[in-house]
Structure 1
Amino acid sequence: MDQEALRAAFDEQMRRNPEPEPDGRVEHDDWVTRSMSARDGWNGVTWCDLRGVDADAVIAEQVSRFAQQARPWEWKHYSYDEPQDLPDRLLAAGFTREPAESLLVAEIADLGLDVPPPPGVELREVVDAAGVEAVVSVHDEVFGGDHSALGRNLLAGLALEPSTAAAVVAVAADVPIAAGRVELPPGTDFASLWGGGTVAAWRGRGTFRSLVAHRAAIASARGYRYLQVDAMPASRPILQRLGFVELATTTPFTYPG
């Protein structure tokens, strides 16, 4: 795997030309790409290249633009972004640094997709509002907070033709115990994994790995070549054992609405 070429493809397809949120739009400037959502979707800067420009002025311009949304938003920083002192500049402009994650990518053809769930667990693909509600309930329990906006966004993605998202719920004794989703942006080589949370009582039994494999199979059937995930420290070693490689680290810098 040519990591430099893969990172360039990821930048071009997923950062510079991201799929708009169901309720939003994507805006391009010379130095920045913004994903703007009117209500429930993600708001933030997906790509930037601030070499040779007044970085502080560009940052200030983004703050002004997103202020019109009156919603919290995020500058998604990658470890190879320029200038190298961009994180310090974002902090000086009033952003908050959130925990860093690892940008992991795998070629789907190289992944082992025959990873059944543990005994007593069934994987169900989400097809309706009841399934979305199960995803939201698992995410609320595992990650904390209120994920109702995620549920509305997921429903909107499922309703598109072809769908731009899929989700899978792991169920034991008819109770949701884990859930994850995969985003399927049209016209790209990359599908993206999100969520993948498992309730505490079921961790360490292989449910997470089976969710990854099942969603990878969905992406493969739709013709995607690569699978991408922003991995937290707990999931990174599991994904690397499955065949993912680390291309960079990514850090959310958040700004209040």
Structure 2
Amino acid sequence: MDHSAVLAAYDRQIRQNLEPDGPGVLIERVDGVVRRVAAAHDWNGVLWSGLEESTADESIAAQVRHFTSLGLSFEWKTYTHDLPADLPERLLAAGFTAEPSEALMVADVQELPLDIAPPEGIRLLPVTDADGVRRMTEVHEQAFGTDGTDLGRQLLDQLTTAPDSVAAVVAMAGDVPVSSARIEFRPGTDFAGLWGGGTVAEWRGRGIYRSLIAHRARIAAERGVRHLQVDASDDSRPILLRLGFTELATTTPYVYEAPPARAA
């Protein structure tokens, strides 16, 4: 893999020129940034920025004004190669809060192992309806310790209005959901994104996560996707490296919380 070329393609296709990818989603290019504006339960934030040192602070302030005027909290997703070099410090000074950094990892679909079966006693169940979404959010809340309500609403929106844009799966141990994950497709690009891979604590270390990577890679291969992309945590990064993913950059989300709405 030509790391520089793939990273440049990712920036160009996914961060700078992404088309609206969900119901009611707007992709706006203004003030030196590309931003995604959607419903409050969806992801809102800055996908890409090309800021000059002399105007960066005003551009940051403009994004804060825009999203808060809509009553939306939002995320500014930075990468290690973004400019200006002190962008993270500027975001912190503007009132953003940094969340844990992740590794931007990419693999060529044709070079990934596609034949990894789930461990004995585990079956993979496609998520296609509200019951499947409920199982998926149940796993998410247990695996990550966070509220899965917004994720569930976002996924149900996708399945209802744009089912070809996402494929989700839950790993079942009997009737109990123990792991889940999804793949999101970006038509017209070389990339599909792997998201939400999580396993409840007592089922970790048994190969379920690896089987969910292979399951989604098979779907990507069937659709002719060239590259899979993951924002990998410290826990998943070693597994992905062993499977053939390459680390291209570090990405850090900076979150700005909208002030609570005033009572009428």
Match of 2:124 in 1: 123
Distance 2:194 2:169 in 1: 11
What residue number does 1:9 align with?
A: 9
SS in 2 for 1:191: strand
5 Å-filtered alignment, 1:66-215, equals 66-160=67-161, 163-215=164-216
| Amino acid corresponding to residue 257 of structure 2 in structure 1 | P
User: CA shift at 1:52, angstroms?
Assistant: 5.7
Q: Residue type matched to 2:12 in 1?
A: E
Structure 1 contact 139–197 (Cα < 8 Å) conserved = yes
- The answer on whether the counterparts of 2:97 and 2:256 sit within 8 Å (CA) in structure 1 is yes
CA distance in 2, matches of 1:162, 1:177: 24
Query: Aligned with 2:164: secondary structure?
Result: coil
Distance (whole Å) between structure 2 residues aligned to residue 77 and residue 98 of structure 1? 11
TM-score by structure 1 length? Answer: 0.97
Partner of 1:37: 38
Gap regions ≥5 residues in structure 2: 259-264
Q: How far 1:50 sits from its partner (Å)?
A: 0.8
Does 1:236 pair with 2:237?
yes
For residue 12 of structure 1, report the CA deviation from its aligned partner. 0.9
- Whole-Å separation in 2 of the counterparts to 1:69 and 1:105: 34
Q: Percent of aligned positions with the same letter in both sequences?
A: 55
Structure 2 CA distance, aligned partners of 1:230 and 1:19? 20
| Number of the residue aligned with 1:226 | 227
Distance between the aligned counterparts of 1:113 and 1:237, measured in 2? 18
DSSP-derived class of the 1:125 partner? strand
Give the conservation status (yes or no) of the 8 Å contact 2:31–2:59. Answer: no
2:23, 2:161 within 8 Å by CA — same for their partners in 1? no
Mapped to 1, the partners of 2:170 and 2:221 lie a distance apart of: 19
Query: Which residues of structure 1 form unaligned runs of 5+?
Result: none
Distance in 1, Cα, partners of 2:116 & 2:97: 38
Kindly provide the amino acid, as one letter, of the partner of residue 127 in structure 2: V
Contact 1:49 1:82 in 2 (8 A): yes
Aligned to 2:218: 217
Equivalent-residue separation in structure 1 for 2:54 and 2:69 (angstroms): 24
- Matched residues in 2 for 1:180 and 1:127: separation? 13
CA distance, structure 1, for counterparts of residue 76 and residue 12 of structure 2: 17
Q: What secondary structure does 1:187 align onto?
A: coil
Q: What is the number of residues matched between the two proteins?
A: 257
Between the aligned partners of 1:66 and 1:161, the Cα distance in structure 2 is 25
Q: Cα offset for 1:159? A: 2.7
The amino acid that maps onto 2:17 is N
**RMSD, aligned CA:** 1.3
Query: In the alignment, is the contact (CA less than 8 A) between 1:23 and 1:40 conserved in 2?
Result: no
After TM superposition, give the deviation of residue 235 of structure 1 in Å: 0.3
DSSP-derived class of the 1:77 partner: strand
* TM-score under structure 2 length normalisation: 0.94
- Counterpart amino acid of residue 156 in structure 2: L
Shift of 1:51: 3.1
Separation of aligned partners in 2, 1:52 and 1:90: 13
Q: Deviations over 1:98-155 (max 9, x none)?
A: 1100000000000011000000000111111111111111001111222122112112
Structure 1 window deviating more from structure 2 (186-195 vs 18-27): it is 18-27
CA 1:162 to 1:200, structure 2 compared with 1: closer, same or farther past 3 Å? closer
Q: 1:121 to 1:36 in 2, by over 3 A?
A: same
Partner of 2:261: none
Amino acid at match of 1:131: G
What is the distance in 2 between the residues matched to 1:155 and 1:224?
23
Tell me the distance in 1 between the aligned counterparts of 2:213 and 2:77: 24
